[in-house]
Amino acid sequence: MNKKLSFQNIILNLQSYWADCGCALLQPYDTEIGAGTFHPATVLRVLGPEPIWKAAYLQPCRRPTDGRYGENPNRLQHYYQFQVIIQPSPNDIQNLYLSSLNAIGLNTKDHDIRFVEDDWESPSLGASGLGWEVWCDGMEITQFTYFQQVGGIEVKPVASEITYGLERLAMFIQKVENVYDLDWDGVEKNQGGKTYGDIFLQSEKEFSAYNFERSDSSILLKHFVDAEYECNSLLSDNQNLLPLPAYDQCMKASHIFNLLDARGMISVSERQAYILRVRQMARSCCLAWMEK
């Protein structure tokens, strides 16, 4: 049996597989976002201008409320997604996806692969799609979505989005039960090889403390308002729209909202109002992008 693929090799193989399929390889977006979908290469690009858009990229994601101080073997407040977005969705997209599993050492014939209904919705992006979570021997390894709407706007033609949860996938491939035990680089320990824990455990501890205990809510609340203000002002002049910088502010606002949520600063009744504010920003950015 071959040596199990390292975390970084899984990324490399996915990149080269999708590059071979004609996708433009992009890099992670350089601001904190909650999911690969938030990347402008997905949210804005599926709305145009080109009718054909194929891209693949790695994206670190932040979910402040999922922090567990490094004590839970499965939950992280910072993790990686590998995102593939292809528009229009090709007829053989499911098979393309299944072959990608073979490229990372998961021979689909040796496993039980299932496409189980899981419709996707992002209230703060005004986005929704239909699709599945893909199960491999009962483990959800991918989210597969046909984008129907973004920013409340119909996506035409429809784009297919494939999102691999890399930690889970790697745990499955490497057969480890604790995310921190994942082999990151394939190098032996005594040669300086690193595990996921070597790289991220400290970060998980510190950020969990920050997210739950130490973040300054009054500053965050101010940041939210500032981001919202900036976003709106960049979209205020119809002759001089700046949807991309405006969308940066929308992503920031969304992350700040998540931080406030982790701090327990948002009551249920306020929650909806915040989500609506982010959605309004996202929608304005999308409309401005289409305008351009």
Partner 1 sequence: MENYKRLTGDLLVEFFSEEIPARMQFQSGVHLEESFKKAFDKKDIRFGEIEIFTGPRHLAIIIKQLDLKQQDQIIEKRGPRFDANEKALNGFLNSNDICLIDTEIKDTKNGKFHFYIKKIKGLETKKIIPEIIHEIIYGFVWSKSQRWGGTELRWARPLRNILLLLNDKVVEGDLELGNSEVIKFTNYTYGHRHYDKKIKIDYISDYQKILLQNYVILNREDRKHKISNDLKILLTKNKLSLMDDPILLEEVTGLVEFPNVMLGSISDEFMSLPPEVLSTAMKVHQKYFSTTDSKNNLAPNFIFVANSLSDTKRDATVVEGNERVLKARLSDANFFWKSDLSKTFEYWNDKLKNVVFYEGLGSVYDKTLRMSEISKYIAKVFNVNSSFASQAALLSKADLASEMVGEFPELQGVMGGYYSKLIGYNNEVSNALTEHYKPKGVLDSIPKTNIGGMLSIIDKIDTLTCFFVIGKKPTGSKDPLALRRSALGIVQIMIGFNINITMYELFSNSLNLHNNVSKALKIELMDFILDRLRIILKAEGIKLDVIESILTLSIIHNLPFQIIYKRITALNETRNTENFKLFLVNFKRLNNILKSSDVLSFSNFDININLFQSPIETKLFQAINDLKKVIKISEFELNNQEVFLKAIKELQIPINLFFESIIVNVENKEIKDNRLKLMFRLKELIIKYSNFDIIED
Nearer to partner 1, 27 or 74 (CB): 74
Query: How far is CA 247 from its chain centroid?
Result: 16
Binding segment for partner 1 among 7-15, 103-111, 229-237, 280-288 (CB under 8 A)?
103-111
CB 256 within 8 A of CB 235: no
- Residue 283 and residue 196: Cα distance in Å, rounded? 37
Name the phi and psi angles at 263, rounded to 5. -80, 0
Residue 187 CB, nearest approach to partner 1 (Å): 25
The owner of tokens 């299944």 is: 98
Nearer to partner 1, 97 or 184 (CB): 97
> Exactly one of 8, 13, 15, 108 binds partner 1 (CB under 8 A); which one?
108
Nearer to partner 1, 66 or 248 (CB): 66
Cα separations (Å) of 96 from 17, 28, 53, 103, 168? Answer: 10, 23, 16, 11, 20
Q: Angle CA(152)–CA(157)–CA(162) in degrees, nearest 5?
A: 80
Closest CA relative to residue 174, chosen from 199, 153, 195, 149? 195
Binding segment for partner 1 among 9-17, 29-37, 113-121, 194-202 (CB under 8 A)?
113-121
> Exactly one of 50, 177, 188, 213 binds partner 1 (CB under 8 A); which one?
177
Residue 6 CB, nearest approach to partner 1 (Å): 19
Query: SS3 of 49, please?
Result: coil
Residue 52 sits in the site that holds partner 1 (CB under 8 A): no
Residue 114 sits in the site that holds partner 1 (CB under 8 A): yes
Residue 74 sits in the site that holds partner 1 (CB under 8 A): yes
Residue 188 sits in the site that holds partner 1 (CB under 8 A): no
If binding means CB under 8 A, how many residues of this protein chain bind partner 1? 41
Nearer to partner 1, 200 or 247 (CB): 200
Residue 275 CB, nearest approach to partner 1 (Å): 15
Query: How far is CA 238 from its chain centroid?
Result: 31
Residue 245 CB, nearest approach to partner 1 (Å): 32
CB 158 within 8 A of CB 132: no
Residue 271 CB, nearest approach to partner 1 (Å): 10
Closest CA relative to residue 80, chosen from 58, 96, 65? 58
- Residue 38 and residue 61: Cα distance in Å, rounded? 10
Residue 232 sits in the site that holds partner 1 (CB under 8 A): no
Binding pattern to partner 1, positions 121-140, x when CB under 8 A? --------xx-x---xxxx-
Residue 116 sits in the site that holds partner 1 (CB under 8 A): yes
Binding segment for partner 1 among 15-23, 112-120, 198-206, 241-249 (CB under 8 A)?
112-120
Residue 246 CB, nearest approach to partner 1 (Å): 28
Closest CA relative to residue 82, chosen from 183, 170, 20? 170
* 225-248 b/e (C-beta count within 10 Å ≥ 16 → b): eebbebbeebbeeeeebbbeebbb
Positions that interact with partner 1 (CB under 8 A): 68, 72-75, 88-91, 94-95, 108-117, 119, 129-130, 132, 136-139, 146, 148, 156-158, 160, 172, 175, 177, 267-269
